[in-house]
Amino acid sequence: MDLLSHPLYFAPVPFYAQLYKAETLLVASEDPFVKQTFRNRTVIATENGTQNLTIPVVHDGGRTAMKDIRISEHGNWRHQHWNAIVSAYRKSPFFEYYADDFAHFYEERDGFLMDFNMRLHNVVCELMGLEKEITTDCTQFSSLNITDIRHIAEPKAVTDITGYASQKYYQVFAQRNGFIPNLSIIDLLFNMGPEALIVLRDSIID
């Protein structure tokens, strides 16, 4: 099975559960960019509940392909995002093991959003042992073998994934806020480490 998706910013856990059972990730790089989606937003768990982290982009509101969207360097979003991540996960069991793998992304400057997202994605997959073939050329694949989850980019649709059932796992602030499903993959990674792959596996419904 091949998985068709947009390039997302630290995609939510259900995305990676689908990727677990896929052979190839097809990246819809030519699809138009849409604001207020996981293309440039991720959701983490903090002491006070969930927090959205949104990457500012250069976008005039017209129809622009995802691959052509540039990151805006106005403001101090990189510093803000990393501080929020540190604050949320510094007490998680595996933050100290993985923090350095991500910290430098918030010190460098990436011109294009898609490049930034895919570089983060590659690190996440490497740390979890979930490396899959990736292609932006979707024309060579038969639609019969493709599972299209592009709708997962919409926050309201993240739970509408066929063959997926959220599995509870340890979260730092669960005693305060209860278990929060469908967060950014870094929530699962920092809290569960190598066992993140087991959570993904157990989330799949045959």
Per-residue pLDDT tens over the stretch 158-194:
777 777 888 999 999 999 999 999 999 999 999 999 9
Provide the percentage of residues in the chain whose pLDDT is more than 90: 72
144 pLDDT above the threshold of 70: no
Give the Cα separation of 129 and 195 in Å (integer). Answer: 11
**7-16, 110-119, 143-152, 167-176 — which is least confidently predicted?**
143-152
Residue spans of the domains in the chain: they are 2-202
**Residue 140 banded pLDDT, cuts 50, 70, 90:** low
Provide the percentage of residues in the chain whose pLDDT is more than 70: 95
Give the global pTM.
Answer: 0.94
pLDDT for position 91: 96
Angle between helices 95-103 and 77-89 (to 10 degrees): 170
pLDDT for position 141: 61
